[in-house]
Chains A and B, each alone.
Chain A
Amino acid sequence: MIKVEVFSSPGCGKCMQAKAVLKAIAEELGQDKVTWRDVNILEEMDYAVDLGVMSTPAMAIDGELVFSSLPSSAKLRSELDRRLG
């Protein structure tokens, strides 16, 4: 099970749109394979700092900062495919 976490601040309009597209990709693979969590950076600042998040939006996969800004759909898809083997 792959855990995708997206760090952003609430009310970020450009994040909302981009996130929706990426979330759809994760959901296509099935919730038994990929889980998605929206992380409110203001509520979980310590966790974000632990992972090395320096700016938002950012994406961590399985507790590791993989994308310091939101990836393109193709990049996310290939990263998830690689991890699913």
Chain B
Amino acid sequence: MYTIGKLAQHAEVTTDTVRYYEKEGLLTPVSKTDAGYRLYDGDSVRRLRFIRQAQQCGFSLTEIRELLALKNSDASCCRDVRSVAVEKKLQLEHKIRALQLMSRALTELVTICNDESKPLDECPILAALESSMARKMK
């Protein structure tokens, strides 16, 4: 059995993270000591690593909850998990596209600023951002 500190150490997270996952219903202690300290086992370590890995792949906690439910359901199969992964990849591709657009917009703004010694009230980047805000508000 592991204490919360040991569990956190094994999965390279903080104890606050473990408590947060518990609050979110993702990881519950196997038992508690008489003094009320949380106790975990080997499955808890694997589950915690799973959560971390899924987060690194871009899954939200809600999606991870869904994946864990699939993982523990006899009725689900590999295909169900694959389809969640495909959907996630699709969302990430959309995000990448949006980030590329944002990056290009910033390149344009940086390009129009050709004089770094101008006073702030003549800053073309701030002016461009203000005018685009004004356009949106119209």
Contacts and interface: CB of A to CB of B under 8 A. Distances in A.
Q: Interface residues of A: mostly helix, strand, loop or mixed?
A: loop
Contacts of A55: 87, 90
9 contacts: A9-B86, A45-B89, A49-B93, A49-B94, A49-B97, A55-B87, A55-B90, A56-B86, A56-B90
Interface string A42-64: 10011011000111100000000
A53 B97 CA distance: 13
A11 interface: yes
B94 A42 contact: no
A41 interface: yes
In this complex, the interface size class of chain A, counting residues with CB under 8 Å from chain B, is 10 to 19
B90 A11 contact: no
B93 A45 contact: yes
Given A11-B79, A46-B93, 12 more contacts: A9-B82, A9-B83, A9-B86, A41-B90, A42-B86, A45-B93, A49-B90, A49-B94, A54-B90, A54-B94, A55-B87, A56-B86
A42 B89 CA distance: 9
